[in-house]
């Protein structure tokens, strides 16, 4: 699938790139999800939320919080979905601390 996306030149499209991030995250490959995220030149809130939620879902709260900070530095305004992802990451962090 990814090979076809790259061959067709759609890898840097925000919608297609975000779909790749989501696909890799659901398959458990955060490394590939992160690589796909990094290749999206014009990320939107959905892109950021997808990667942030992937980190939170897979027990990587520190990475999720770092990404949240980077999101803010880049001027992307957090929305309700962002806050749910951050809450999930914080809950995961609290569970790890116990």
14-55 confidence digits (pLDDT tens): 999 999 999 999 999 999 999 999 999 999 999 999 999 999
How many CB atoms sit inside 10 A of residue 26's CB?
11
What is the maximal distance between C-alpha atoms in the chain? 48
Res. 7: pLDDT tops 70: no
Task: Give the distance, in angstroms, between the CA of residue 32 and the centroid of all CA atoms in the same chain.
Answer: 11
For the segment 47-94, what is each residue's pLDDT rounded down to a tens digit? Answer: 999 999 999 999 899 999 999 999 999 999 999 999 999 998 888 765
Q: How far apart are CA 75 and CA 56, in angstroms?
A: 21
pTM: 0.86
Contacts of 96 (CB under 8 A, 6+ apart): 59, 61
């Amino acid at each position: 699938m990814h090979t076809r996306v790259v061959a067709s030149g759609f890898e840097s499209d925000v919608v297609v790139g975000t779909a790749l991030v989501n696909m890799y995250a659901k398959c458990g490959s955060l490394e590939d999800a992160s690589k796909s995220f990094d290749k999206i030149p014009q990320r939107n809130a959905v892109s950021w939320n997808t990667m942030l939620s992937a980190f939170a879902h897979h027990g990587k709260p520190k990475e999720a919080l770092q990404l949240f900070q980077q999101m803010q530095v880049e001027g992307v305004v957090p929305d309700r979905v962002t806050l749910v992802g951050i809450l999930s990451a914080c809950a995961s962090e609290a569970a790890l601390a116990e």
